[in-house]
Structure 1
């Protein structure tokens, strides 16, 4: 199991979680929780970690997805765990990221976190 943290975690359809950790097992997110203190074994990445379903075409549509939802969340929505976390969510790191507009900047690259 690996743990990754970032400035923001993006959950399509819900918004952004500020300074959260994503636990990843076999390439899929299995948990998210707040980064309230330094935790051993958590790898920090600048930018945004986005959680997409396996079916998402990240390379073609990610600008559209980020534009639709700019809300900053205080906690993980309960419906997220019930409705989406049961499906396989794949974490992708997006960097650099425009935190003013809350969307990818010119030259943003993405890669799957394994």
Structure 2
């Protein structure tokens, strides 16, 4: 299992989690928790890690999923844990990212975190 942290974790339809860790197993996100202290084995990435399903991952920039929700969340929504997290969401790193508009910036690249 791998752990990744970033400035923000984006959950389509819900919003952004500030400074969270995503645990990834076999390419899919299996849990998320706050980054409250330095944790061994957590790899830090600048930018945003978006948890996307297959449909969203192929067209994240073109369909504007980042425009749908700009809320900053204080915790992982319970409904998200029950409905989505166990369905095999794929973590993608978006960097650089414009934190003023909470949108990908010109030149933003997307990379799947395995």
TM-score by length of 2: 0.95
The CA distance in 2 between the partners of 1:68 and 1:79, in whole Å, is 18
Q: Tell me how far apart the structure 2 counterparts of residues 84 and 62 of structure 1 sit (CA, whole Å).
A: 21
Sort the Cα spacing of 1:61 and 1:42 in 2 relative to 1 into closer, same or farther, 3 A. Answer: closer
Shift of 1:61: 3.4
Correspondence for 2:76: 76
**In structure 1, C-alpha distance between the alignment counterparts of 2:46 and 2:40, rounded to whole Å:** 18
Matches within 5 A, 1:67-106: 67-106=67-106
For residues 74 and 86 of structure 2, the distance between their equivalents in structure 1, rounded to whole angstroms, comes to 22
> Shift in Å at residue 56 of structure 1?
2.4
SS of equivalent to 1:86 = helix
Partner of 1:35: 35
Superposition TM-score, scaled by structure 1 size: 0.95
Mark the CA change 1:57 to 1:5 in structure 2 (over 3 Å): closer, same or farther.
closer
| Counterpart residue number, 1:5 | 5
- For 1:62, the equivalent position in structure 2 comes to 61
| Unaligned residue ranges in structure 2 (runs of 5+) | none
What is the aligned residue count?
A: 113
RMSD of equivalent CA atoms = 1.0
Gaps of 5+ in 1: none
- Following superposition, the deviation at residue 94 of structure 1 comes to 0.1
Moved beyond 6 Å, runs of 4+:
none
- Work out whether residues 2 and 24 of structure 1, in 8 Å CA contact, stay in contact via their aligned partners in 2: yes
